[in-house]
Amino acid sequence: MRFYIATSIRNGERAAALAEVLKARGHEHTYDWTQHGDIRCEGDVRMGEVAFNELRAVRDAELVVVLLPGGSGTHTELGVAIATRSNKRIILWSEDGNEFNFDERSCTFYFHPSIERVVCPFEELLRRLDKEQIGSDI
């Protein structure tokens, strides 16, 4: 199964750790943005290239895991995942669930019917995704 992990640059280490768990289970990363990190100072051509690659990767993924908190790019990727969700599993993870409290931290799209909201410590998320068959509920 092909996967993509969306999150803020600040969560890059967590994204890399999750990718290792999924790859160890035989899944394929559609695009690993943690390999290049923050490219915002590399100019418009590079940013356009990365934007194209990331959106194609989200579209092509069968599993999209969104790690909160996320930035504006993370939310764009979540929107693309929802828009291209045919046979796509979308997991939205929060460590404490505060983003799901119907306040300024919430995003309407966190409550889209195709989203699986998961609240648990990060290590628990890794354990769950390591143990399960990705096509089933966690």
Q: What is the pLDDT of residue 137?
A: 45
Pairing relationship of beta strands 63-67 and 115-119 according to DSSP bridges = unpaired
**In angstroms, what CA-CA distances link 28 with 12, 74, 98?**
18, 20, 31
Confidence band of 133 (pLDDT split at 50, 70, 90): low
Q: Are 93 and 118 contacting, i.e. CB atoms less than 8 angstroms apart?
A: yes
Q: What whole-number distance in Å separates Cα of residue 77 and Cα of residue 98?
A: 20
Residue 132 has pLDDT above 80, yes or no: no
Task: Give domain 2-131's CATH architecture.
Answer: 3-Layer(aba) Sandwich (3.40)
pLDDT in tens, 82-114: 999 888 999 999 999 999 998 888 899 999 999
Residue 136 has pLDDT above 70, yes or no: no
- Nearest-CA neighbor of 4 among 23, 137, 104? 23
